[in-house]
Amino acid sequence: MTTRDTVLGRIRAALADVPASEGPDDVPVPRDYRRSHAEPDAVAQFAARVADYRATVTRTTDADARVTVAARLAARGLRTLVVPDGFPAGLLPEGGGWTVLRDEPPLSVAELDAAEGVLTTAALGIAVTGTIVLDAGPGQGRRALTLLPDYHLCVVREDQIAGDVPEALGRVDARAPLTWISGPSATSDIELDRVEGVHGPRTLDVIVVGGE
């Protein structure tokens, strides 16, 4: 007998009190909780909640998006910037003092570690929790790209902002590798003093694009 059989056998024996006629879906789950706690202006709420994590949030229009990206990058004084495949060409500023690194062929861990920043899009934002959801889609790259460089600039479009967690889960593909980011890396392990930045990027910059 395999351990699998042993464990499954133990479970079935332990559940002798559950009637054989009861199916897994017969056990009711009251779902009268709200689908969303979002405020009417979900975009403003998203921006405010991201800022609560001590991330920087800039709102801008489609027309000004590229200039805003350039300004944020220039403010950092970056020398090397990772830009994943599929990042919209129209948003990528030309010139600037930085070298753009492409992940094609894949950058080594050492190259990523040496890069100072990364510029990506996102799959979604969540207003109530101030979360950015990455699903490795176009413009986001594989997970390591947003992890090793110390600075992450993320561009989110207003129409990508979901109100709340239930809606966000309904909009992502569960099978994609998912990273939900709510503010920069942080720890409170030493006397509960919050310190931003341990292993992930120490600075998270978000640009919300849309409207006029």
Partner 1 sequence: MTDSNNVVWLGAPSFPDAAREALADTQLRTNLRKATGTIRDKRLAVTAELDDWEQLRTAGKALKRRTLRHLDHHLVRLEEAVTKAGGQVHWAADAAEANRIVTALVKATGQTEVVKVKSMVTQEIALNEALAEEGVSAYETDLAELIVQLGDDRPSHILVPAIHRNRAEIRDIFRREMGKWGRPAPEGLTDRPRDLAEAARLHLREKFLRAKVAVSGANFAAADTGTVGVVESEGNGRMCLTLPETLITVMGIEKVLPSFEDLEVFLQLLPRSSTGERMNPYTSMWTGTTEGDGPQDFHLVLLDNGRTATLKDTVGRQALACIRCSACLNVCPVYERTGGHAYGSVYPGPIGAVLTPQLVGVEHAESLPFASTLCGACYDACPVKINIPEVLVHLRAEVVEAKRAKGRVPTPEALVMKAAASVLSSPVKLSAVQRLAHPAARLVSRRGTIGNLPGPLGRWTRTRDTAVPPKESLRAWWRRTRGGREGSK
At 45, which amino acid appears? Q
Phi/psi at 75 (5° precision)? -60, -30
**By C-alpha distance, which of 173, 185, 152 is closest to 56?**
152
**Region near partner 1 per CB under 8 A, out of 60-68, 83-91, 155-163, 192-200:** 192-200
71 or 176: CB nearest partner 1? 176
CA trace torsion 88, 93, 94, 96 (10° rounding): -140
Name which of residues 44 to 83 contact partner 1 (CB under 8 A): 49, 52-53
**Region near partner 1 per CB under 8 A, out of 62-70, 71-79, 83-91, 166-174:** 166-174
CB 160 → partner 1: shortest distance, Å? 17
Residues in the chain: 212
**Does residue number 114 form part of the binding site for partner 1 (CB under 8 A)?**
no
Cβ–Cβ < 8 Å for 139, 103: no
**Does residue number 166 form part of the binding site for partner 1 (CB under 8 A)?**
yes
Name which of residues 8 to 47 contact partner 1 (CB under 8 A): 8, 10-15, 17-18, 22-24, 27-34, 37
Counting residues that bind partner 1 (by CB under 8 A) gives 73
**Does residue number 104 form part of the binding site for partner 1 (CB under 8 A)?**
no
DSSP state for residue 107 in the 8-state scheme? P
Distance between CA 63 and CA 212 in Å, rounded? Answer: 8
**Does residue number 1 form part of the binding site for partner 1 (CB under 8 A)?**
no
94 or 193: CB nearest partner 1? 193
Among 93, 130, 139, 149, binds partner 1 (CB under 8 A): 130
Among 84, 125, 163, 200, binds partner 1 (CB under 8 A): 200
Exposed/middle/buried for 6, CB within 10 Å: 0-12, 13-18, 19+?
exposed
CB 212 → partner 1: shortest distance, Å? 30
Give the 3-state secondary structure of residue 25.
helix
- Look up tokens 């989110």; give the residue: 156
